[in-house]
Structure 1
Amino acid sequence: MAVIVATDSDFTNVLNANQKVVVKYYADWCGSCRLFSPKFKRMSDDAQFDGITFVDVNAEQSPEARKLASVTNLPFFAIFNGGQLVDTIAASKEDAVVNLIQKLNA
């Protein structure tokens, strides 16, 4: 599944239109964020995450979306279920992000 790019203007709609969502918050200047992008894309295509929507949000250009997850560091990941924040992690390790996403299937 393709990674959806969301901004403040459509972030709430994306959360409400999809039951299970994982969001990667990034900034253009963030090297770790750029390095994680291909991993995030690969994870979005992984069969174990079927039914989960993957979303990219530029944290600098979307302050309202950033505030919803209380972003503290980049890259930052948040999972939402039914539009509600479930958990977050600031990490650049793929296994930490996989563990976070698996909470949506628990």
Structure 2
Amino acid sequence: MNILECDDNHLRQLIFEKEKVIVKFIDETCPICQRLAPTFTKLASQPLYSDVTFVRMHASQNPVSSKEVKQKGTPFFATYLNGTLQECGLLSSEEEIKQLLQRLN
């Protein structure tokens, strides 16, 4: 599965269209964001997560996301199930992302 690039408005629509969504909010200057980019891409292509929609958002280009990320930092991840926020927080490793996905499934 491909990773969707999204903005604040599209995300609101997407979380109600798709059952399971994981969003990675990034900042272009964040070294951890850059380090986790290949991991996020790899996980998005694994059959185990074929029912999850993977989304990447640039925090600086989206006011709602930017506000959340400024409070928390990057890379900030959020999962949604049937339109409802399940979990969110800062993650810094592949294992943490996998654990977040397992709790979503």
* TM-score (normalised: structure 2): 0.90
Query: Which residue does the alignment assign to 1:35?
Result: 35
Q: Please give the secondary structure, in 2, of the residue aligned with 1:9.
A: helix
| Contact 1:89–1:100, Cα closer than 8 Å, also in 2 | no
Q: 8 Å contact 1:89–1:97 — kept in the other structure?
A: no
Whose helix fraction is larger, Structure 1's or Structure 2's? 2
Q: What CA distance in whole angstroms lies between the structure 1 residues aligned with 2:104 and 2:27? A: 25
- CA RMSD in angstroms, aligned pairs only: 1.3
Q: Is the 8 A contact 2:24 2:77 kept in 1?
A: yes
Structure 1: stretches of 5+ with no match in the other structure: none
TM-score by length of 1: 0.89
Confirm or deny: 8 A CA contact 1:23 1:57 kept in the other structure: yes
SS state of the match for residue 9, structure 2? coil
Matched letter for residue 51 of structure 1: D
- State whether residues 25 and 65 of structure 2, in contact with CA within 8 Å, keep that contact through their aligned partners in structure 1: no
Residue 62 of structure 1: aligned partner: 62
State whether structure 2 residue 93 is matched by structure 1 residue 93. Answer: yes
The one-character-per-residue Cα deviations of 1:21-80 (angstroms, maximum 9, x if unpaired) are: 00001011111101111110100011111200000011111122455xx44120011100
Number of the residue aligned with 2:14: 14
The gaps in structure 2 that reach 5 residues or longer are none
Contact (CA 8 Å) 1:24, 1:56: kept in 2 or not? Answer: yes
Q: Which residue of 2 aligns with 1:3?
A: 3
SS state at 2:2 partner: coil
